[in-house]
């Protein structure tokens, strides 16, 4: 409850500036916070972590298989191209694949950093500005984390064309909800699923920890998008909602196609067309690409973008089955997995310290 009283009349509830870089909205109502958003903001403040301390960077991943993942997860596994490669060449494919994938995570995180800074400016309410500011800090820490990880791999890739064009659409749209929809729901939702696949299958502790910790924060980010859009979309006209669905359908196809990784095959000097054809048609890769939508499908349903266009797109992509995923349950699991990694690391540190004490 507010105890401060304005001493002069406040005839407007806010102030808006407009210039070439976009619109900045000020509010003079500092007390009107929605409980759920304020709780999320408080959690965002409490759960900040420092990558330098929380992650054991002394570990060096195996350069020939940095994530220690089974070869079945290499997109061209099982092709004649893969069968002809020497052990050394296969190591080079695995390393470049991880570098390509984590480079896209890195650039995507910078996109999230810039989008959330934009949300701080453009969103009208103080509670959303508070929360988005914690996310700006989260995303800066994620950029730092993935950048450090790529220093370990010693190679990096530029941003993928599909990801860049999607970021361009999101950032150049003046409607405030499009930043949330494009970044918080689509780009982050897809990234979250990709991080989860690595967290759950990587044998290497560094790649596993990096993704598990980032996911712990991302669960809050997706929740922010859900809370904001769930309130807003029912107020729009059907035509306005249809327009958003059109954008989502197009974005989902583009994001799925970015995982064909054409620039990776090009860099490795392979027949790019043949690789893309193989990856596009491979049954295991179809399953992999469908798993990328486990978070997006239920979120779009939850925020009320679930008209015929959306359902038809997801049916066509073979991912409609994820509509019944319990988002709260998977996000609670994201938190507990990260916390378990902390506990395991503490146990290892304690065991090492006890061993040293015995030796001394
Ligand atoms: Fe992030
Ligand atoms: Fe995020």
- The verdict on residue 14 lying in a domain is no
Q: Count of domains in the chain?
A: 1
- The verdict on residue 312 lying in a domain is yes
Report the alpha-carbon angle 155-158-161, nearest 5: 145
Report pLDDT digits (tens) over 40-63.
999 999 999 999 999 999 999 999
Question: DSSP letters of 168-232?
Answer: HHHHH---HHHHIIIIIIIIHHHHHHHHHHHHHH--SHHHHHHHHHHHHHHHHHHHHHHHHHHHH
All residues with CB under 5 Å from ion ligand 1 = 109, 112, 139, 142
- The verdict on residue 7 lying in a domain is no
26 in helix, strand or coil?
A: strand
- The verdict on residue 303 lying in a domain is yes
- The verdict on residue 245 lying in a domain is yes
Q: Express as a percent the part of the chain with pLDDT over 90.
A: 55
Report pLDDT digits (tens) over 181-207.
999 899 988 888 889 989 999 999 999
**Ligand 1 centre and the CA of 325: distance in Å?**
22
- The verdict on residue 263 lying in a domain is yes
Which of 8-12, 140-144, 230-234 has the lowest average pLDDT?
8-12
pTM: 0.90
**Ligand 1 centre and the CA of 219: distance in Å?**
10
- The verdict on residue 22 lying in a domain is no
Report the alpha-carbon angle 37-136-230, nearest 5: 35
Report pLDDT digits (tens) over 250-295.
999 888 877 788 889 999 999 999 999 998 888 888 888 888 888 8
**Residue 1: in which H helix or E strand, if any?**
none
- The verdict on residue 328 lying in a domain is yes
Which of 7-11, 315-319, 324-328 has the lowest average pLDDT?
7-11
**Ligand 2 centre and the CA of 234: distance in Å?**
25
Give the domain range for residue 165.
37-355
All residues with CB under 5 Å from ion ligand 2 = 112, 188, 218, 221
The CATH number assigned to the domain holding 232 equals: 1.10.620.20
Rounded CA-CA distance 139/60 in Å is 24
**Ligand 2 centre and the CA of 112: distance in Å?**
6
**Ligand 2 centre and the CA of 224: distance in Å?**
10
**Ligand 1 centre and the CA of 111: distance in Å?**
9
């Amino acid at each position: 409850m507010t105890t401060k009283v304005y001493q002069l009349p406040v005839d407007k509830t806010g102030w808006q500036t407009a210039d070439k870089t976009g619109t900045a909205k000020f509010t003079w109502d500092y007390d009107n916070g929605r409980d759920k958003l304020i709780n999320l903001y408080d959690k965002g403040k409490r759960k900040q972590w420092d990558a330098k301390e929380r992650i054991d960077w002394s570990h060096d991943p195996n350069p020939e298989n940095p994530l220690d993942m089974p070869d079945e997860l290499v997109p061209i596994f099982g092709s004649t191209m893969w069968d002809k490669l020497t052990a050394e060449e296969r190591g080079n494919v695995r390393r470049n694949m991880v570098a390509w994938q984590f480079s896209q995570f890195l650039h995507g995180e910078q996109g999230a950093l810039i989008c959330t800074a934009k949300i701080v400016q453009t969103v009208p309410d103080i509670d959303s500005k508070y929360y988005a500011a914690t996310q700006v800090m989260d995303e800066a820490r994620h950029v730092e984390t993935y950048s450090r990880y790529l220093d370990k791999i010693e190679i990096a890739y530029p941003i993928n064309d599909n990801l860049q064009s999607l970021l361009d659409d999101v950032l150049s749209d003046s409607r405030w909800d499009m930043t949330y929809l494009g970044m918080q729901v689509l780009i982050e939702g897809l990234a979250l699923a990709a991080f989860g696949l690595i967290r759950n299958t990587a044998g290497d502790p560094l790649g596993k920890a990096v993704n598990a910790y980032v996911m712990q924060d991302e669960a809050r980010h997706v929740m922010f998008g859900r809370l904001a859009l769930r309130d807003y979309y029912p107020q729009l006209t059907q035509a306005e909602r249809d327009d958003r669905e059109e954008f989502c359908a197009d974005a989902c196809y583009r994001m799925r196609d970015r995982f064909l990784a054409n620039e990776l095959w090009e860099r490795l000097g392979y027949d790019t067309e043949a690789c893309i054809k193989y990856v596009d048609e491979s049954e295991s890769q179809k399953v992999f690409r469908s798993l990328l939508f486990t978070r997006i499908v239920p979120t779009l349903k939850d925020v009320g973008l679930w008209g015929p266009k959306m359902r038809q797109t997801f049916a066509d992509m073979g991912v409609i089955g994820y509509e019944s995923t319990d988002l709260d349950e998977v996000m609670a699991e994201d938190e507990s997995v990260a916390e378990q990694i902390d506990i395991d690391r503490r146990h290892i540190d304690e065991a090492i310290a006890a061993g040293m004490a015995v030796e001394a």
